[in-house]
Structures are given as C-alpha cells and as structure tokens.
Chains A and B, each alone.
Chain A
C-alpha cells in the first residue's frame, strides 16, 4: 500500500501545486536554517581524533605563581617542555609550536614565499596519524641532535616539485638548506586539535621542522605567547628560559593504567619544580586531557553556537506550525473523497497512513530544498563573511540528516491534520457531494 499512497500523494501535490509549494517552502526554510547552524555546530564539535581520542593527552601544568591566572594554561613554557622531552618516561611525547619561514627551492627563478611551518618532534606524525606519500619522519635522534631536515605536505610538494618524489631534495627555509625526508598526504584535522591556540579551524601547516632546531635557528613563535609575570626578554635565550607559555605539548598512552602512571610522573615533576623554587602556587599541578576533553577545555564549540542551533530549531517549529495550518486546510477540503474511501472499505488507519505518506513526501521535498538553502547560506557565509572554509562546507552527513529531520518534522506537523481527516464522519460528506 505504501507505493499506492505515494502515488496518491504525488497526485495530490500536483493537483494543488501552489499550496504544496507553500508547504515545501515553509519546511525547507526551517530546515535550511536548522541545517546551516547544525552543520557549523557539527563541524565544530566533531572529534577528529576518532578512536585515538583517549590515547592522545594534552599536557597542562599549573606553573604560574600565586597571583597569576587561576586556571591551567593551554600551553607550557619552553623549559618545562624541554624537561619533559628529555626525560626517559616510556611514553611518546611531542612538543610543538608554529612559526613562519621564508621558503625557497634550488630553482633560482622560484620566488621565495612565506609559509607557516610547524616546529615539532618526530613522534608528532605517528601520534596524530599523519599519513606519508613519500619517505617518513626524521629519525628519533634528530629530536636531540638537530639536523636540518623537513617534512612537507603534498600540496606544497605539488607546488614546488609538481608532485614528484622529492625525498632527498633541498628546500631553503630562511635561506638555510633543509633536506626533505618526507612528504605527507593532505592532513588538516578540523578542528585542528593539536594546536587550537591560533584558531581551531585554520589549515594545518604545510611544512614541519625538528623542534631541536628551535634554539639554534631561534624560530619565532607565530602562535599565542602568554606570560603571567613581567620578565625582561631581550633575546631568544631569555625567551627559552622565561616563564612564558607558548609550547603545545602532547603525550600518547596506551591505556588507563599508563595514563595514571604518566599523571603520577607529571605530579612528581611538579613537586620537583616546586623544590627548585618554581611552581609557587599551592594549586600547582598537572592536568591531562584527552582530545574530547581538550576540545571542551578550549571551548571549540562556543556557547553562542549552541544557542543558535536552539533558535533555529524554534524557527523550524514556527515553520511547522505554518505548515500544520496549510495541511489542515488541504486535508479538510478533501473530506468528501475521504468519505468515499471510508465507505468503500478504507479504515481510519489506512486513511491516516495515506495522509502521513503525503506529509512525509512534502517533508522529503522540503528537506531536499532545505539542503539547497543550507548550501547557499553556507556559501554566502563563506564568500561574504570570510568564515573559515572548514566550517562552511556542507558535511556529507547533512545529506542524510536534512531529509530525515524534514520528514520527521513534517510527520509531527501532519499528525493532527491527518487525525482530523481520518476521524471525520464519512456519511456527512457522501450525501453532500
């Protein structure tokens, strides 16, 4: 009977095209706005680490003094990062920050360009599941004994070397020759959870260089730098020894037991630093956050966004109320036909189903049109308001979510009109036709 009802629904829609269009428009606008906000919300709140979310831990240390900020800073000082890196704790760790370097090839005709470069350790690539096309990360030894090596991504490799295998070739960064040891596939998680300090939805860096080169090359930080006390920082060495927070630090554990052991180890480090006269606050401690928690700590999804989703849902309800009125008018006009159908053997349930299928079809059409509205509004947000690109593409899940929400919403709106029409007394209409 479903296909029979579908056929009847389609005929009914064709019979009253203007009324049907009004209903489809009503629901599509509601769905369009809801899907737009939901899409942005979903893209913001997605956990890109997937199954590795619980294994990757962002490290925070309450290293500030008594009268400083009353919360864990999201970054570490260089000296803490340095101390943790050089320890022999059996846990993979990586420190990182972002810098900018002038990039040039061996080709003298190639115009230098300024590129964002991530300064990090070799474990970064495995920890954050960065896939390689050619080569691999630099050796672990490079993390302690600085070597001028670089990993670039496929986009940069395409731009510089026409996507050829560029392993072993030389790239000049700030006029220093770096040997290319790896070419990664496009990797740009959204949100960019390893480093949320400069915007959660920015593109990832196109090149990576060893962290061990930082004190030698004196890479400037292009990220956030936060100090809790006044310090005189006149050179790079003073910066490295300062209490300025500017390094992101991550660890990888295999299970809860290892996490606990690592947390205890960090606490011992805090205690040790207190003995050395640092970490003056009585609240000094270490904090570990998995990726899920890290996204919350950094408030990747602002509260405003949640309110916006709620408001758009309210708007959808207004559209549905509008649709309910139109449906009621349309269905009640059809009462004589329903009377005939009831007389010749249709049960109330069958009449109800027939009308709900029609409502569902209208909802489906509204969902499809709503997707188009959502796509258009995201395009507008992207082009007119310079919103991050990673937030303004229509997520693939929305292609399923939009019709499902639209059909469900339409069914909710259509229930009352369908109940009304199937409970009318058929005999009243049979005589009057």
Chain B
C-alpha cells in the first residue's frame, strides 16, 4: 500500500541544512492502523506530509498503491490526495465560513462529482459520524469533538483508502478523544488504512502497529495484537512494553518489513 525506501528530506537555508528525515524506510500494508510516535521535532509531521503528498522529498523512493510518487505533477498529486487520501488534523482545519455539509462537500467538488452524488456522500459521511442532523450548522457552533468528527466525515466522504491523522485527539478532552479514537477504529475495521501521529501512548497502544521516529529515522516499531500484547523491534525504548520478547527481526535499524511481521 505505502512503501518508503531511503527517503531523505533536507530543509535548506542559507546557513543551515536540517535533515528532517534520513534514510527513512517504512512499509504499510492495506488495512493497517499504524500509530506514529516520537518526540517533538523528530520528523513525524514531515513524514506525514510526505506520505500525504503535501511535501516533496530530497532523496529516496515512495510508492503509494504501486504508483511512484517521486515525480508527479501537481495536478496528479492533487488528484491522488483527493481520491486516495483523507486528512485529519489536530486543529480540525474546517473552513469556518462553510457549514458542515459544505465543508464535507469540498473534496467532492474538486473530484467533479454531480450535485446529487455529492449530496448523497455528504449525508452518508455525516451520518457515519453522527452529525447528519446538524449539517447546516457552522463549525463555530460545534464543540471540538464534534468539529473533529466533521473533519473525519470530510476525510471519509471521498471514500479514501488511506487516512492520515496528525494528532487527531490533540485538542480534545479525554472523553471526546476516546470517541474520536473509536470512530477511527471503526473506520479501520471497515478497511481503510490509517496512519496516525500521536503523542498519546494510550491511543498509540490501540493501533495495530506503533512506529517511533527519532531524529528522522524509524527507530522502533511495535506490533500490538488486539490491543493486548505487542511485538517490538530493535531500539525499542518503551519501559512498560519490555515484558514480552519481540518476534520481529529487522534487517536494518530503520526498516519494517511487513512480510516478516506477518510470518
């Protein structure tokens, strides 16, 4: 589904070169729920931006659904973002002047759906998040949790195969965060691949796989099985997860081979 090989991302200024990602390797299979953790400035968001085709990369290869992303035109990138990728942001990023239905409708507009089809999808997406009755409300009239659910509805409306969530519960209280997380789990169970960046270890543990990024490299991965046990790779530093021996042997410090995980 998603394959990054030796991805490097360097931000250059006149004086400084900053390596946000270096020799970054990652493979995510279809239907996975991957949580990405790491300290601030480790490269999580850069990874997510590259994965979501919002930013280019300096070196390496990136394949999404078998398509080489390296040299795509802006139009092609936009089309892939629109058709295959859904975004959920920490700050919700709803457009304040548009009501809920219009917000959810935005990606469908760019996709060129008919008015009838847009209406059907908007209705369905808002029903999925339990906000169909409030589709004429403005985002400012909703709570943070509700706004995030609208953002999820917007991401779902285009029926993406791939959902990228950047701290989706970061601005929510614990109860709302739990609701949003349950919603994401339901979406994942329905077959959508999710990559979620989070600082919340509790939420990360609920994902199938946990990737830790440090200094722009994957330095740790953990496989959870039904939320109970886990499998940890090289470099794992999580104290409470050291009671089980990891199954997975990685070939390099910064690679995850999904085939081996499965075996």
Query: Which residues in A have some Cβ–Cβ distance to B below 8 Å?
Result: 1, 4, 11-12, 15, 336-337, 339-350, 425-427, 430-431, 433
Residue numbers in A under 8 Å from B77 (CB-CB): 347
Tell me, rounded to whole Å, the shortest Cβ–Cβ distance linking A290 to chain B: 55
The answer to whether A344 and B154 touch across the interface, beta carbons within 8 angstroms, is: yes
B81 touches which of A11, A345, A349, A425 (Cβ 8 Å)? A345
| Chain A, Cβ-Cβ closest to B75 | A347
Given A344-B82, A344-B154, A430 and B54 touching (CB < 8 A)? yes
Can you add 14 more A-B contacts, CB < 8 Å, to A350-B78, A431-B45?
A1-B109, A4-B109, A340-B93, A343-B52, A344-B155, A344-B158, A345-B111, A346-B82, A346-B110, A348-B75, A349-B75, A430-B89, A431-B90, A433-B89
9 A–B contacts, CB within 8 A, in A order: A336-B93, A344-B82, A344-B154, A345-B79, A345-B111, A345-B158, A346-B78, A347-B110, A433-B91
Tell me the smallest distance from the CB of A37 to a CB of chain B, in Å.
Answer: 40
Chain A residues lying within 8 Å of B52, measured Cβ to Cβ, are 343
Q: 9 shortest A-B CB distances, which residue pairs? A: A345-B82, A347-B78, A427-B49, A344-B107, A433-B91, A427-B54, A345-B110, A340-B93, A347-B75
Which chain B residues in 154-201 approach chain A with CB under 8 Å?
A: 154-155, 158, 166
The answer to whether A342 and B78 have CB atoms under 8 Å apart is yes
Q: Tell whether B14 is near chain A: CB-to-CB under 8 Å.
A: no
Determine the chain B residues whose CB is within 8 A of the CB of A345 once the complex forms. Answer: 78-79, 81-83, 107, 110-111, 158
Residues of chain A within 8 A (CB-CB) of B75 are 347-349
A1 to chain B: which residues have CB within 8 Å?
109
Bound Cα distance from A425 to B86, whole angstroms = 18
Chain A residues lying within 8 Å of B106, measured Cβ to Cβ, are 341, 344
B91 to A, closest residue via Cβ: A433
Q: How far is the CA of A272 from the CA of B129 in the complex (A)?
A: 103
Report B-chain residues with C-beta under 8 Å of the C-beta of A349: 74-75
Tell whether, in the assembled complex, residue A343 and residue B166 are in contact, meaning their CB atoms are under 8 Å apart: no
Question: Closest residue of chain A to B73, judged by CB?
Answer: A347
Cβ–Cβ contact A342 & B54, under 8 A = yes
Does any Cβ of A come within 8 Å of B230's Cβ? no
C-beta contact mask, B42-78 vs A, less than 8 Å → 1, else 0? 0001000100101100000000000000000011011
Nearest residue, chain A, Cβ from B82: A345
How many Å lie between the Cα of A1 and that of B82 in the bound state? 16
How far is the CB of A297 from the nearest CB of chain B, in Å?
58
Set of chain B residues within 8 Å of A348, measured between Cβ atoms: 74-75, 78
A341 proximity list for chain B (CB < 8 A): 95, 106, 110
A127 to chain B, nearest CB (A): 62
Residues of A contacting B54 in the complex (Cβ-Cβ under 8 angstroms)? 342-343, 425-427, 430
B95 adjacent to A337 (CB under 8 Å): yes
Partner of A350, one of B49, B86, B110, B155: B110
What is the CA–CA distance of A413 and B94 in the complex, to the nearest angstrom?
A: 29
Distance of B260 from chain A, by nearest CB (Å): 32
The smallest beta-carbon distance between B115 and chain A, in angstroms, is 10
Contact yes or no, B74 A343, CB < 8 A: no
Asked if B95 and A340 sit within 8 Å, CB to CB, the answer is: yes
Asked if A431 contacts B87 (CB within 8 A), the reply is: no
A344 and B92 alpha carbons, distance in the complex (Å): 13
Distance A86 CA – B89 CA, assembled complex (angstroms): 95
Q: Return chain B residues, CB-CB under 8 Å to A11.
A: 97
Contacts of A350 in B (CB 8 A): 78, 110
Chain A residue nearest in CB terms to B77: A347
CA distance in complex: A12, B83 (Å): 27
Chain A residues positioned under 8 Å from B158 (CB to CB)? 344-345
In the bound complex, CA of A105 to CA of B91 (Å): 89
CB distance from B136 to the nearest CB of A (A): 15
Separation of A345 and B82 alpha carbons in the complex (Å)? 4
Please give, as numbers and ranges, the residues of chain A lying within 8 Å of B107 by CB-CB distance: 344-345
Q: In the bound complex, what is the Cα–Cα distance between A336 and B97 (angstroms)? A: 13
**For residue B97, which residues in chain A have a CB less than 8 angstroms away from its CB?**
11-12, 15
The docked-state distance in angstroms from the alpha carbon of A6 to that of B62 is: 37
* Residue in A341, A344, A347, A348 with the greatest tally of chain B CB atoms within 10 Å: A344
A341 to B54, CA, bound (A): 11
Contacts of A431 in B (CB 8 A): 45, 89-91, 166
On chain B, the residues within 8 Å of A337 by CB distance are 95
Given contacts A350-B110, A427-B49, A433-B93, are A344 and B87 in contact (CB under 8 A)?
A: yes
Q: Which residue of chain B lies nearest to A345 when distances are taken between CB atoms in the complex? A: B82
With a cutoff of 8 Å between Cβ atoms, the chain A residues found around residue B82 in the complex are 344-346
A427 touches B81 (CB 8 A): no
A203 to B183: give the CA distance in the assembly, Å. 81
Decide if B49 touches A347 in the complex (CB within 8 Å).
Answer: no
* Closest A residue, CB atoms, query B89: A430
For the complex, give the distance between the alpha carbons of A80 and B227 in Å: 114
- Complex contact B81–A344 (CB within 8 A): yes
